[in-house]
């Protein structure tokens, strides 16, 4: 089984019992070890192989956000061509509302 250390910059500072390691007199709180899944289980998104929890992922992003953005900077907006939206009015005896149906125009896809 392959393992990664959690990449959360403060993972080793969180005071939980499962992080305590070492012998009496020289105990430490240690970064959590993560079991690597390959292939990823269907419900995984990928970050789970590198971070023990979402909080550690967010700490990492907070610390390295500028570097992460530099990997794929967005200098202009993106657009998805759509057909003219169809607005439909619905009502029941209590209230009425509108639904807007948005469909992608496949003929204008790049
Ligand atoms: Zn962690």
**32 Cα to the center of ligand 1, angstroms:** 6
**Burial class of 6 by CB neighbour count within 10 A (0 to 12, 13 to 18, 19+):** buried
Cα 20 from Cα 28, distance rounded (Å): 6
Mean pLDDT of 1-20: 97
CA of 72 to the centre of ligand 1 (A): 25
What separation, in Å, do the N-terminal and C-terminal C-alpha atoms of the chain show?
43
Residue 110: pLDDT band by 50, 70, 90 thresholds? low
The pTM score is 0.76
pLDDT above 90: residue 1 = no
Confidence of residue 109 (pLDDT cuts 50, 70, 90): confident
Pairing of strands 3-5, 33-35: antiparallel
Ligand 1: centre distance to CA 6 (Å) = 5
CA 21 to ligand 1 center in whole angstroms: 15
Please give the structure tokens belonging to residue 16.
């939980």
> Over the stretch 36-95, which tens digit does the pLDDT of each residue have?
999 999 999 999 999 999 999 999 999 999 999 999 999 999 999 999 999 999 999 999
């Amino acid at each position: 089984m392959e393992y990664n250390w959690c990449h959360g910059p403060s993972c080793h500072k969180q005071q939980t019992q499962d992080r305590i390691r070492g012998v009496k007199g020289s105990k430490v709180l240690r970064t959590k070890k993560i079991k690597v899944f390959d292939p990823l289980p269907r419900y995984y998104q990928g970050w789970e192989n590198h971070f023990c929890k979402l909080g550690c992922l967010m700490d990492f992003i907070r610390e390295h956000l500028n570097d992460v953005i530099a990997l794929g900077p967005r200098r202009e907006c993106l657009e998805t061509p759509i057909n003219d939206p169809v607005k439909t009015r619905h009502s029941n005896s209590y209230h009425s509302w509108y639904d807007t149906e948005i469909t992608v125009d496949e003929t204008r896809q790049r």
